[in-house]
């Protein structure tokens, strides 16, 4: 068996983590032969709940789990970790302004970024799940200057999965038959789910999703709106936010980042912008990426961008620039 890796989950007593931890421990993300130590971080008032989670991990009797570290101490939590799932964040509460939300999260991700910088491996892959995910990831990277910015990513895979599943349902095919949808921009209601470069396998024949659906108004209207507002729809129905699907998406994101994407396929990840597609540099923006075995990702280049897509990319980029400006104004240094 390979040497064990160390994987941290923050917000480990919460709902998303409850679904995610089992995937990690069972081998769904890092491989069925990859042993691991689980580092579980939460705030001191949640230590009792976290103790119960540790009991359940033990009771699952999963052979890949070589040990569990449950702690509220950042130095202990981030020590020598190979992969980080940054799930814990301050959620938006009723009446809370965006700047209030950013203020609370800048503090959290400043502290955790500094801990990553000081204690984690320099090769660590950091996936930020906690919202506002893109800007939280940007702040986390800012405060971990010794770790390359390309090692930080924010999750738009849930939106990607939602788009892929909705198209498969619309077309009456399996989810795996729909490939290369794209989520551009922010994990927010400004994101742009784009099918212009997506393909579908129907009766053994590959064709473009746009041609297969043949309804431009739907693909630029109801489809976009559904993906943008799906999280709110889940809350309205469930009275709680997406947890199972968010955990699955986090696992999918890290698995592809760890092992690579299939030839000819790309996935959506929010990564540090290098100016591709006319997007401002140095914001965490979701792009289509292809990933080599071992985890080196590249933004897919050269995709045609329609006038409609250009407008949508500009809207979501502007929101991210505003978030960045607000977040940086809250930094003390």
Q: Which residues are annotated as a binding site for substrate?
A: 92, 98, 131, 162
Annotation says 253 is catalytic: no
- Pairing state between β 182-184 and 192-194: antiparallel
Q: By the 8 A CB rule, do 277 and 252 touch? A: no
* Residue in the structure block whose two tokens are 């959620």: 91
| DSSP type of residue 44 | G
CA dihedral angle for residue 147, residue 180, residue 221, residue 93, rounded to 10 degrees: -30
Would you list which residues are annotated within the binding site? 42, 92, 98, 105, 129-131, 162
Would you list which residues are annotated within the binding site for NAD(+)? 42, 105, 129-131
208: helix, coil or strand?
strand
Angstrom distance (rounded) from CA 194 to CA 223: 9
Angstrom distance (rounded) from CA 54 to CA 79: 19
- CA–CA–CA angle 46, 270, 160 (5° rounding): 90
User: From the candidates 39, 160, 187, 266, which is the catalytic residue?
Assistant: 187
Q: Kindly report the backbone phi and psi dihedral angles of residue 164, in degrees, each rounded to the nearest multiple of 5, phi listed first.
A: -60, -45
Token couple for 163? 């788009």
Task: Give CB contacts under 8 A, 24+ apart, made by 203-206.
Answer: none
Active-site residue set: 187
């Amino acid at each position: 068996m390979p040497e064990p890796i160390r994987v941290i989950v923050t917000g480990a007593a919460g709902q998303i983590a409850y679904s995610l931890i089992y995937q990690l421990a069972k081998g769904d993300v890092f491989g069925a032969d990859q042993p691991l130590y689980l580092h579980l971080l939460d705030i001191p008032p949640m230590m009792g709940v976290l103790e119960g989670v540790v009991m359940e991990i033990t009771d699952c009797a999963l052979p890949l789990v070589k040990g569990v570290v449950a702690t509220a101490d950042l130095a202990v939590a981030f020590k020598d970790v190979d992969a980080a799932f940054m799930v814990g964040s301050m959620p938006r509460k009723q009446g809370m302004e965006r700047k209030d939300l950013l203020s609370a999260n800048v503090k959290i991700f400043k502290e955790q970024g500094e801990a990553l910088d000081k204690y984690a491996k320099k090769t660590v892959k950091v996936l930020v799940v906690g919202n506002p995910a893109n800007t939280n990831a940007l702040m986390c990277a800012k405060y971990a200057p010794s770790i390359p910015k390309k090692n930080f990513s924010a999750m738009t895979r849930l939106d990607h999965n939602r788009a892929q599943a909705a198209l498969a349902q619309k077309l009456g095919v399996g989810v795996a038959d729909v490939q290369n949808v794209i989520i551009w921009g922010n994990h927010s209601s400004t994101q742009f789910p784009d099918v212009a470069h997506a393909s579908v396998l129907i009766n053994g024949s590959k064709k473009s999703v746009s041609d297969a659906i043949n309804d431009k108004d739907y693909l630029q209207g109801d489809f976009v709106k559904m993906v943008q507002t799906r999280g709110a729809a889940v809350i309205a129905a469930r009275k709680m936010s997406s947890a199972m699907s968010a955990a699955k998406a986090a696992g999918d994101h890290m698995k592809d980042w760890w092992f690579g994407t299939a030839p000819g396929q790309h996935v959506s990840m929010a990564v540090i912008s290098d100016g591709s597609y006319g997007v401002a540099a140095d914001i965490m923006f979701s792009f289509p990426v292809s990933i080599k075995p071992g985890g080196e990702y590249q933004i897919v280049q050269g995709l045609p961008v329609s006038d409609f897509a250009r407008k949508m990319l500009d809207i979501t980029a502007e929101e991210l620039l505003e978030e960045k400006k607000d977040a940086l104004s809250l930094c003390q240094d």
